[in-house]
């Protein structure tokens, strides 16, 4: 009887135990579902943070490139005005130059030249400039009161030539006596940045904004112009975030539209700019919310099924949960690797093998992604850059740095050698935290690199004679002075002036004068052959020759050779009797750097010798004996 009672108890207890087990299983399913939804939500937020960080980096690069193009153009224009002045003939020449560039300005809206009183001298805009004056503009007042010669990024203003909102990039130029000569200005349409930003999908309520580091809003997507110029300096971004870090992720509620946003800001190292890329938190989580509702309904059905069917369906539910988690993990990996981008995205193992290559490889390097997968990541790197690239890769694999950027040459399947910029970031094993590879985002920088090289050549070379300009000479002179001081070797300088060149221009015209200077430059360079020697245009009709490792005798010998080379040109000049040919006067000086003379004293001595030659009747060589040259 006791045995029956014990069996009955077990029989009756079994449903309770089974119900308790099923209930516990249901609780576990609910808990796992909630954890999974939290993980998916967090993954979507992290993915959005990565997207806005990458977007901020890309937009800042574009903004910096735009300002650097404007700066390079202004530098050449200011140099041209400082060399030739702002008389009517020079202004006409500048206007002709601007007219020739008007159709090829690219990102730049327009170029303008103002004199010291703010009057318009020249512009690429098709407007009547006779009564226009910009002396009231903030950038003009800035340059008039500051002689720092730096490029100035102004606040947004309405264009007086077109009426649209513009960003101004300006630079001061001086007269020959150092006084304020006027301002050269390049403008960029704010609408240009708005259109460029609009190319990128940031979601229905996302936005990209470009601001000055003072807080002035320059451009923003989805703006009809009412937000341009608004002062945002009082927002937490400028009051707190920018003071803590120059580049960071930032969650905030927008003061413009009250939308909760996920954002990344980035400040420029070269310009007073801040880029803010944002996505609406609601937009980012929209897909997760709809999926969470659907998945929640499934969980409810499963739990009800477990309560109805009982213990035998628990194993099936656990199996489905495991399968769902596995599918979610695979989906997350696929979404990470297959994310659409015009840049080439690669995943590199610790053995430098390409584990994954995005389809954009066909555009960037000319190879199909399938052909590259499994090959060496360094196979296409140019041999001259290979050692440097290996050193960077070794450093990042060792954990010395988490992220770096490198510019190198590589082999394109169809176009030959191209310049590629890669941003490298380590990846870590989720369990151990150890570095397990590198993710690289690569873009083609060939066009930008070529443009920078051309601009650098333009900045260092005289436009007429193609000789190095005065700035290049001064840089080389300082370097050779330091080398001479270290080795106690002689350094010589020869100053050259074309005799009565103004009279030549007045008699034969400026075109003939330009051809004369070109011929003289060619004659001078025909004499100087050593690799470290330098012939440069010093300004106007003046030239200078730098002769490292040259004593006084060698200096004088070269000076006479230069004189003879110009005489051999036999260019007619009726204003230079009795020979009636173009001639030059030369003054030379020599010293040993680091002894008693300074670099400025050497140039001054050569100039003094030139003055002696000109005062003695020109068309001759004079050497300054005070520094050791034979007289």
pLDDT in tens, 355-371: 888 887 777 777 777 78
Residue among 389, 409, 415, 413 nearest 449 (CA): 409
Question: In this structure, how many other beta carbons lie within 10 angstroms of the beta carbon of residue 372?
Answer: 21
How far apart (Å, rounded) are the C-alpha atoms in residues 180 and 602?
A: 29
In this structure, the chain runs to a length of 631
Strand ranges of the sheet holding 260-267, from the earlier edge strand across to the other edge? 217-220, 207-212, 273-280, 260-267, 247-253
pLDDT value at position 4? Answer: 45
CB 445 within 8 A of CB 407: yes
| Range from 146-160, 442-456, 571-585, 610-624 carrying the lowest mean pLDDT | 442-456
DSSP alpha helices (H): ranges in 406-546?
Answer: 446-460, 470-487, 501-508, 510-527
Q: What are phi and psi of 595, to 5 degrees?
A: -95, -100
Q: What is the pLDDT of residue 223?
A: 80
Name the strand (E) or helix (H) holding 217: strand 217-220
Higher-pLDDT residue of 537, 354: 537
Q: What is the rounded average pLDDT for all residues in the chain?
A: 84
Reading the block at residue 600, the tokens are 């400025």
Q: Which of 193-207, 333-347, 429-443 has the highest mean pLDDT?
A: 193-207
Categorize the per-residue pLDDT at 429 as very low, low, confident or very high, splitting at 50, 70 and 90: confident
Cα dist from 105 to 66, 97, 102, 157, 455, whole Å: 11, 12, 6, 20, 14
pLDDT in tens, 582-608: 999 999 999 988 776 788 899 999 999
Between CA 140 and CA 492 the distance in angstroms is: 43
Over 60: is that where the pLDDT of 466 sits? yes
Q: How many CB atoms lie within 10 A of CB 136?
A: 8
CA distance 575 to 113: 36
Task: Say what the pLDDT of residue 471 is.
Answer: 92
Least confident among 169-173, 264-268, 382-386, 560-564: 382-386
The structure tokens 């954009």 sit at 360
- Answer yes or no: pTM beyond 0.85: no
Q: How confident is the model at residue 513 (pLDDT cuts 50, 70, 90)?
A: very high
* pLDDT tens sequence across 3-23: 545 555 554 566 677 778 888
Task: Give the whole-angstrom CA distance, residue 67 versus residue 87.
Answer: 29
pLDDT, tens digit (0-9, with 9 covering 90-100), for 283-328: 888 888 888 898 889 988 888 888 888 656 555 655 555 554 554 4
Give the three-state DSSP class for 436.
Answer: strand
Name the residue with higher pLDDT: 319 or 469.
Answer: 469
At 427 the pLDDT is: 83
């Amino acid at each position: 009887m006791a045995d029956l009672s014990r069996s009955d108890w077990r029989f009756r207890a079994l449903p309770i135990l089974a119900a308790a087990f099923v209930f516990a299983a249901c609780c576990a399913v609910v808990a796992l579902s909630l954890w999974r939804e939290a993980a998916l939500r967090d993954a979507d937020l992290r993915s959005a943070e990565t997207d806005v960080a990458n977007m901020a980096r890309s937009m800042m690069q574009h903004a910096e490139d735009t300002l650097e193009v404007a700066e390079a153009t202004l530098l050449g224009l200011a140099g041209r005005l400082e060399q030739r002045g702002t008389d009517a003939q020079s202004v006409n020449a500048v206007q002709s130059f601007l007219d020739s560039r008007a159709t090829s300005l690219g990102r730049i809206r327009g170029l303008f030249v103002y004199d010291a009183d703010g009057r318009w001298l020249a512009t690429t805009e098709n407007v009547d400039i006779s009564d226009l004056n910009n002396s009231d503009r903030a950038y003009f007042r800035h340059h008039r009161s500051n002689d720092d010669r730096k490029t100035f990024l102004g606040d947004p203003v309405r264009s007086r030539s077109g009426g649209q909102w513009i960003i101004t990039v300006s630079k001061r130029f001086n007269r020959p006596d150092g006084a304020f000569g006027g301002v050269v200005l390049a403008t960029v349409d704010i609408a240009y940045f708005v259109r460029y930003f609009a190319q990128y999908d940031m979601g229905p309520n996302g936005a990209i904004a470009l601001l000055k580091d003072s807080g002035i809003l320059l451009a923003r997507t989805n703006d009809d112009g009412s937000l341009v110029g608004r002062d945002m300096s009082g927002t937490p971004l400028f009051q707190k975030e920018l003071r803590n870090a120059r580049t960071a992720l930032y969650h905030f509620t927008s003061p413009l539209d009250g939308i909760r946003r996920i954002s990344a800001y980035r400040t420029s190292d070269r310009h007073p700019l801040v880029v803010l890329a944002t996505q609406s938190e609601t937009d980012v989580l929209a897909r997760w919310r709809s999926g969470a509702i659907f998945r929640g309904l499934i969980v409810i059905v499963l739990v009800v099924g477990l309560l109805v069917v009982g213990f035998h369906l628990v194993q099936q539910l656990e199996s489905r949960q495991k399968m769902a988690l596995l599918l979610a993990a695979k989906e997350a990996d696929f979404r990470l690797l297959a994310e659409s981008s015009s840049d080439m995205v690669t995943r590199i193992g610790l053995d430098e093998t390409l584990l994954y290559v995005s389809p954009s490889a066909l555009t960037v390097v000319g190879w199909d992604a399938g052909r590259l997968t499994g090959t060496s990541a360094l196979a296409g790197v140019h041999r001259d850059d290979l050692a440097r690239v290996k050193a960077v890769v070794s450093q990042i694999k060792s954990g010395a740095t988490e992220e770096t950027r490198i510019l190198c040459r590589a082999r394109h399947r169809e176009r030959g050698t191209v310049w590629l910029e890669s941003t490298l970031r380590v990846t870590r094993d989720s369990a151990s935290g150890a570095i397990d590879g590198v993710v690289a985002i690569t873009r083609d920088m060939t066009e930008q690199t070529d443009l920078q090289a051309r601009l650098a050549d333009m900045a260092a070379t005289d436009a007429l004679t193609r000789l190095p300009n005065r700035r290049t000479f001064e840089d080389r002179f300082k370097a050779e002075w330091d080398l001479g001081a270290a080795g106690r070797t002689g350094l010589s300088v020869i100053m050259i002036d074309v005799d009565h060149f103004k009279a030549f221009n007045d008699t034969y015209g400026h075109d003939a004068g330009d051809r004369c200077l070109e011929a003289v430059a060619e004659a001078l360079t025909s004499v100087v052959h050593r690799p470290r020697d330098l012939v440069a245009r010093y300004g106007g009709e003046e030239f200078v020759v730098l002769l490292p490792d040259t004593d006084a005798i060698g200096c004088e010998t070269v000076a006479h050779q230069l004189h003879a080379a110009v005489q051999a040109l036999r260019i007619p000049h009726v204003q230079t009797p009795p020979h009636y040919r173009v001639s030059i006067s030369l003054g030379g000086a020599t010293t040993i750097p680091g002894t008693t003379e300074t670099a400025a004293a050497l140039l001054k001595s050569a100039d003094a010798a030139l003055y002696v030659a000109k005062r003695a009747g020109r068309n001759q060589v004079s050497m300054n004996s005070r520094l050791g040259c034979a007289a």
